[in-house]
Structure 1
Amino acid sequence: MAAAAEKPSLDGPRLAVTPHASPDAKAAKPAAEVRVTAGVEAVPAVRQKWYQWFSPSDTPEERRLIMKLDGTILVFVFLAYWAKVLDSSATSTAYVSGMKEDLHLYGNELNYLNTVYMVGFITLQIPLTVLMTRFSANYFIPGADLIWGVLTLAQYKVSNVHQLYAIRFFVGAAGSLFFPAVQWYLGCWYKRSELSRRGALFFIASQIGSMSSGYIQSGAYASLNGRHGIEGWRWLYIICFACTIPIAILGFAVLPGQPQNCKSRLLTPREIQLAQERMAAEHREPRKPLTWSVLRTVLTGWHFWVLVAFAFFFSQADGVSSNSGLPLWLKAEGYSVEDINTITTVSPAVTIVSSILCGILSDAYDAKVSLIAVTASLNIFASVVLAIWHVPRGLKFFAFFLSGSADGIAAVIYAWANEICAGSAEERAIVISSMNTIGNTFGAWLPLFVWKTVDAPRYLIGYNWTIALDVCMLAMLFVLRSFWNREKKRSAAA
């Protein structure tokens, strides 16, 4: 089922940018994808090797452009995602750091707080992402971050849980567009042979954020509790605000808009023109008017339904690593709190390594199908081991750690969606945001039935559910590849 990793596929006709191809581009030996346009000589689009940051066919000015994009876009989205994870975990940390007693949260208030946050997040993600495409992303994305930061700060002043409910809804709404908007935005500037590794670097910020948030928040609480008459849990929100606002301001200062309407202080007119030519060569279309006809075309096409269905299985298949099975098992085995905190950092470390590895291999060899198939198979093996449960201790550790690789293909999947929907900026926004929304929608309630706390640490239902999800994801991978290959053949024939 998986395509050969060592041989990139032909991705259909593309516009050539012959004036800027390097003199030795035709002589380059790495596997190439042919770009074709009527009346223009076809030139090979050479993919970089796994250890190369640039393609051998990239000209010096194209490399300078890429470095500028990496130094502005990638730096901002990485820092912003890290701050988002820090902010998102603040409420749970605040709850166990004095907020519960101060606001008298002795019932299910914490669950309700998470619920209202997800309601705002889910209901507004697609509308805000699509709305973002109507404006300049270099103002819309950091603007939403700025609002997120202000609302985060507002939480430190609450005096009752009802105020917190209202603010948490709007915090969820303000942060809802960030992930799909960034994936869409990366697709506006980077070629398909560059997207996966950039997406991976963006994605690992969440893992680094989850690993560092506990240390930052515990240190802030210990050193600031009671300072200036402010409780420690309130200081957590102030610290999050202080981290978020400078990053949002950085976004306003350095982010370029979309290539077709770019007004950047850091990119020259020639670099903007070159960026437009790069996207034209990828058949990456600029935005157009959003009409009912466009919406109908998107919602009736296979891109939407197949990619969103595929995203459902992928989004739920990381349950082993996201539902606390490992720390609960370690606690049941008598490990100390220090050991549990140390050992559980291995899983996000595995996610980071697998994300980078998948991103590099996907860009170098166009091995999306192979990488997704291998990752799903590894997750099936880990889940089978944990479903059996009565296995050697070392094998159980290995299975828990291996399950951290499940999210390693996130950047690959969203890069593929950018590639498949390259012909319409509006379709890319709708499809990518819908893929993310469907995962969060089911992730908000499905664990209540599948990953029941009473089943911990042996989540027998959960581990078997993960096996079924990965099997279905492999089946959907076959469907997705079949549809995509058929579309590429039709484009080549046309």
Structure 2
Amino acid sequence: MSEKVAIAAEKALSPKSETQEVSPPARQKWYEWFAPTDTPAERRLILKLDGLIIVFVFLAYWAKVLDSSATSTAYVSGMKEDLSLYGNQLNYLQTVYMVGFITMQIPLTLLMTRCPVNYFLPAADLLWGVFTLAQYKANNVTQLYALRFFVGALGGFFFPAVQWYLGSWYKSSELSRRGAIFFIASQVGSMSSGYIQAGAYARLDGRYGIEGWRWLYIICFACTIPIALLGLCLLPSTPDTCTSRFLSADEIRLAQERMASENREARQPFTRAKVWEILKSWRLWVLVTFAFFFSQADGVSSNSGLSLWLKAEGYSVEGINTITTVSPAVTIVASVVCAVLSDVYDAKASLIAVTALLNIFACIVLAIWNVPVGLKFFAFFLSGTADGIAAIIYAWANEICSHSAEERAIVISAMNTIGNTFGAWIPLFVWKTVDAPRYLIGYNWTIALDVCMLVMLAVLVQFWAREKKRSLA
């Protein structure tokens, strides 16, 4: 070894002097897809995962949103008369759907953690498509009740299951953006479903002797099956059991190392002691309570306040359908902005707080009601930001519960289940149709929810900071 090389090696190995300045690590730019610390091998792996996982979950979630509105559309497109649906039977159909949706979320998400995910998710999607198709053959409401239960059960667990699955492959600094892309599928679905269903009914009603409302379910099935087959071909399982034909052994090993660097534990056997440990943990109760307030705080956009106000103001049907697409567009923009800022700056708490404050301002304006028309439009549109933090909340849950795959599954599914459980009946008392379009109780209720969410945010930050400090000790 030459003298120069020896000296250089000695300097490299010697401890840095106290006066020597250490340059801070390069920070990822908001427009960059990869972190500066990602190696070329990591970047290739991330791009592969995006193509294998994100494409499927986006398309599958989009297809499920089509079905969520298909029954309401079918009801007013001939199903009511053909099946003699009267009274509250449409409400009962929605109730049965929600029963399946809510009761099976946690069990099916936990079951998925025991099975190969690359088969479980697409298989559930295939079954969901079959039960969706079967609705077109229904001849009475009793058959529809049974089918709607299974459609709700097989579709309801998809959101928490995918959030858990993403947390099995992506780092904390990557999760929010992927979660946002997945969540955006629901907004794209809500924007496109009306046009797809209207066009299908207009062109297919009576074709081959099939009523137009029955074609709506056939279309949902036709969209779902190719997506499910795509998932069977592409999806990898979790890194600890992955045998994907598209990932090399080195890439699978790299994925395992990436998760290990995040303290993201692989799946372990379920034991009574583990379940008890999860149930008594602060993580379950604080995150689920926080998710309850968040899940109810989007009431302005989810209870048709804007469309009913526009109708009362005399806007045409075409005008109402066009203007109301702005709200989901705002949600999409907010989701992307929050996800990028969350991943780049790790600003989850700040983004949640700002979003809550924006929603409070929007609801104060709407509660006052007698304000300039432009300000009222602005408030309605601004309320679309309420759902923009969904991806970062579930990304945060993945990060907080990273030490246990089983806890991640229980906490994430419980967060979503509790939100949907209360969302199924609270609107009946808070967002009463007789109060439309000025939902005074609803707007004030949303303000209270956002205030409580800010309080729980402070509690969550405190507990999480204490846990991180304890892990470093």
Q: Same fold (TM over 0.5)?
A: yes
Q: Does 1:449 align with 2:429?
A: yes
**CA–CA separation in structure 1 for the residues paired with 2:96 and 2:273:** 34
Q: Does 1:422 align with 2:406?
A: no
Partner of 1:205: 185
Partner of 2:362: 382
Stretches of 4+ aligned residues off by more than 2 angstroms: none
Partner of 1:41: none
Q: What does the per-residue CA deviation read over 1:470-494, in whole Å, with 9 as the maximum and x for residues that have no partner?
A: 000000000000000000001111x
Q: Does 1:114 align with 2:94?
A: yes
- Does the 8 Å CA contact 1:155/1:237 hold for their aligned counterparts? yes
- Does the 8 Å CA contact 1:28/1:56 hold for their aligned counterparts? no
Aligned amino acid, residue 492 of structure 1: L
Q: What does the per-residue CA deviation read over 1:60-114, in whole Å, with 9 as the maximum and x for residues that have no partner?
A: 1110000000011000000001001011111111101100000011211100000
**CA–CA separation in structure 2 for the residues paired with 1:28 and 1:241:** 58
**CA–CA separation in structure 2 for the residues paired with 1:144 and 1:429:** 17
Q: Does 1:485 align with 2:465?
A: yes
Aligned amino acid, residue 285 of structure 1: E
**CA–CA separation in structure 1 for the residues paired with 2:143 and 2:202:** 26
**CA–CA separation in structure 1 for the residues paired with 2:22 and 2:196:** 49
**CA–CA separation in structure 1 for the residues paired with 2:178 and 2:217:** 30
Partner of 2:311: 331
- Does the 8 Å CA contact 1:120/1:170 hold for their aligned counterparts? yes
Partner of 1:214: 194
Q: Does 1:134 align with 2:114?
A: yes
**CA–CA separation in structure 2 for the residues paired with 1:176 and 1:400:** 28
Q: Secondary structure in 2 aligned to 1:401? A: helix
Partner of 2:339: 359
When residues 28 and 111 of structure 1 are mapped into structure 2, their CA distance, relative to the original with a 3 A threshold, is: farther
Q: What does the per-residue CA deviation read over 1:224-271, in whole Å, with 9 as the maximum and x for residues that have no partner?
A: 100110000001100100000100010010000000000101111110
**CA–CA separation in structure 2 for the residues paired with 1:47 and 1:107:** 60
Deviation of residue 48 (structure 1)? 2.1
**CA–CA separation in structure 2 for the residues paired with 1:184 and 1:237:** 29
From 232, 235, 240, give the equivalent of 1:252.
Answer: 232
From 252, 270, 280, give the equivalent of 1:290.
Answer: 270
Residues 83-102 of structure 1: pairs in structure 2 closer than 5 A? 83-102=63-82
Aligned amino acid, residue 401 of structure 1: F
Aligned amino acid, residue 375 of structure 1: T
From 29, 40, 46, give the equivalent of 1:60.
Answer: 40
- Does the 8 Å CA contact 1:47/1:193 hold for their aligned counterparts? no
**CA–CA separation in structure 1 for the residues paired with 2:121 and 2:22:** 39
Aligned amino acid, residue 152 of structure 1: T
Q: What does the per-residue CA deviation read over 1:21-67, in whole Å, with 9 as the maximum and x for residues that have no partner?
A: xxxxxx996x65xxxxxxxxxxxxx6522111001011111100000
**CA–CA separation in structure 2 for the residues paired with 1:92 and 1:337:** 17
Aligned amino acid, residue 471 of structure 1: V
TM-score relative to the length of structure 2: 0.95
Deviation of residue 176 (structure 1)? 1.8
Partner of 1:235: 215
**CA–CA separation in structure 2 for the residues paired with 1:342 and 1:330:** 11
**CA–CA separation in structure 1 for the residues paired with 2:305 and 2:91:** 20
Q: Which has more radius of gyration?
A: 2
- Does the 8 Å CA contact 1:285/1:423 hold for their aligned counterparts? yes
- Does the 8 Å CA contact 1:47/1:363 hold for their aligned counterparts? no
Partner of 2:444: 464
From 417, 420, 434, give the equivalent of 1:440.
Answer: 420
Partner of 2:11: none
Aligned amino acid, residue 149 of structure 1: G
**CA–CA separation in structure 1 for the residues paired with 2:340 and 2:275:** 34
**CA–CA separation in structure 1 for the residues paired with 2:93 and 2:467:** 45
**CA–CA separation in structure 1 for the residues paired with 2:414 and 2:106:** 6
**CA–CA separation in structure 2 for the residues paired with 1:170 and 1:75:** 25
Aligned amino acid, residue 359 of structure 2: N
**CA–CA separation in structure 2 for the residues paired with 1:86 and 1:471:** 33
Partner of 1:3: none
Residues 290-309 of structure 1: pairs in structure 2 closer than 5 A? 290-309=270-289
Q: Does 1:169 align with 2:135?
A: no
Q: Secondary structure in 2 aligned to 1:189? A: coil
Q: Which moved more, 1:47-56 or 1:242-251?
A: 47-56
Partner of 2:248: 268
**CA–CA separation in structure 2 for the residues paired with 1:143 and 1:355:** 29
**CA–CA separation in structure 2 for the residues paired with 1:176 and 1:208:** 18
From 171, 181, 191, give the equivalent of 2:161.
Answer: 181
**CA–CA separation in structure 2 for the residues paired with 1:334 and 1:230:** 36
Aligned amino acid, residue 171 of structure 1: V
**CA–CA separation in structure 2 for the residues paired with 1:229 and 1:205:** 33
**CA–CA separation in structure 1 for the residues paired with 2:123 and 2:30:** 36
- Does the 8 Å CA contact 1:326/1:400 hold for their aligned counterparts? yes
Q: Does 1:51 align with 2:17?
A: no
- Does the 8 Å CA contact 1:117/1:168 hold for their aligned counterparts? yes
**CA–CA separation in structure 2 for the residues paired with 1:114 and 1:307:** 28
Q: Does 1:319 align with 2:299?
A: yes
Gaps of 5+ in 2: 1-20
Alignment length, in residue pairs?
A: 453
From 322, 326, 344, give the equivalent of 1:346.
Answer: 326
Q: What does the per-residue CA deviation read over 1:345-394, in whole Å, with 9 as the maximum and x for residues that have no partner?
A: 00000000000000000000000000000000000000000000000000
Gaps of 5+ in 1: 1-26, 33-45
TM-score relative to the length of structure 1: 0.91
Aligned amino acid, residue 77 of structure 2: S
Superposition RMSD in Å: 1.0
Partner of 2:15: none
Residues 153-164 of structure 1: pairs in structure 2 closer than 5 A? 153-164=133-144
Partner of 2:6: none
Partner of 1:11: none
Partner of 2:123: 143
**CA–CA separation in structure 1 for the residues paired with 2:40 and 2:403:** 28
**CA–CA separation in structure 2 for the residues paired with 1:478 and 1:361:** 20
